[in-house]
Structures are given as C-alpha cells and as structure tokens.
Amino acid sequence: MTTALIVLLGTAGPAAIAAGTVLDHLTTDPGPTRTPPALDTCTACPRPIPRGTNRCSHHLTLTTPTTETQTMPTKHQTTNPGLSIRTDEAWTRGILRADTIRYNTILDLADAYREDPNGVTAALAALADALINNVTPEERDALVEDIDDTTTGDATTDLTLHHAMRLRDELDTVINRLGRFNPKATQPSPHPNLTEHQRAA
C-alpha cells in the first residue's frame, strides 16, 4: 500500500508541475493597476463630471442672466470710473459711481487747506469727533456743511456727447434689469412734468 502511494505521487508530481507551467503561460497579464478617475456630479443633472468642475458639458453651455453678472466690474473695477451706472450682482439696485466728483472734491479740500490750514483742520477734527460720539444726523450734516464751506467747488462734472450717450445706454440697461419683473414700470410717463397726485387724478 505504501509502495503504491509513493509510485502514484511520483508519477503525478511531474504532471502537476507541467500543468502549472502551461497555466502560467496561458494566464493573461493584467498589467499595472489603474486608479479610476475621481468624479463629481453635475450640479444641474446626475451626470458624472471630472473632479474640480461644477457642470457637465451640456449645462456648461447654457447661459443665464447671472452669467453676465459674474463678469461685471466690481467696486474697484470699471472701464469708466469717472462716472458710470451699473447694477449690483443680484440686479436689485442701481449703483452710480462718480470718481471724478470725488477727485475734484479732494482737490478743492487740499486747496482750501493751503489757504486756511487751521480752519480746515478744525472742521475735519470736529467731524471726526462727531463720528466717534455718534451724533444725530442733523448735527453731522451741520459739520459736513462747515467743511463744505471751506471749499469753493461744486459737486459737478462736465459731460461730453460721447459720455452722455454712454451713460444713457448704461442707465437703460439698469432700468431694464431692475424692472424685469415689472416691465410696465419701465415705460416712460406720458406726462413727465406731472406729479404722482396729478397723474392719479
């Protein structure tokens, strides 16, 4: 019995080794392990998208009114800082920017300081103290008037035809955006010189 088992094992040994060698040659090499790409989900649909993006290629091409507001000039970025009109990012209010008037006001204040440094300094110091002490709006306005009295310029700026037409276009855009939910309110009044009470009558 023992002799027969030894013979059987001796006979099967080389056959098993040969079968294993053939099997190794027939097995396909899977190659290097590939890491699946990191994916997110489109914010507008369930499509998978590459990590780091918000929308799929389909919804990325769809534009909405907010697309324009994302590229609109911010507070410190405008192509016409001297005098311009625009809307805020939510299209809920208009914003008038008048850097030219502010610039001229600072020049007038500097000129007034050259003429009367003590008077201008005292007026500015009084307003600064008032802002710290939270005075009433009436008292604050009076102190602002004191500073205004030290200057000679007015809060005005000249307009060329080119800039007047540009401002008209900007204002029309602001009106259309603010009145997008109430188009009738954007229509010009048939009697612009009448008061609201006169129009109602």
One digit per residue, the tens of pLDDT, for the chain of length 201 reads 545 444 444 555 555 455 455 445 555 555 556 655 556 666 666 667 676 666 665 545 333 333 333 333 333 344 566 889 999 999 999 999 999 888 888 999 999 999 999 999 999 999 999 989 888 999 999 999 999 888 877 888 888 999 999 999 999 999 999 999 998 888 887 766 666 556 555
pTM for the model:
0.50
Question: Which letter does DSSP use for residue 184 in this model?
Answer: G
**DSSP-assigned states of every residue in 70-117:** HTS--TT--S--SSEEEE-TTSSSEEEE-HHHHHHHHHHHHHHHHH-H
Write the pLDDT tens digit of every residue in 148-177. Answer: 888 877 888 888 999 999 999 999 999 999
- Other Cβ atoms less than 10 A from the Cβ of 54: the count is 12
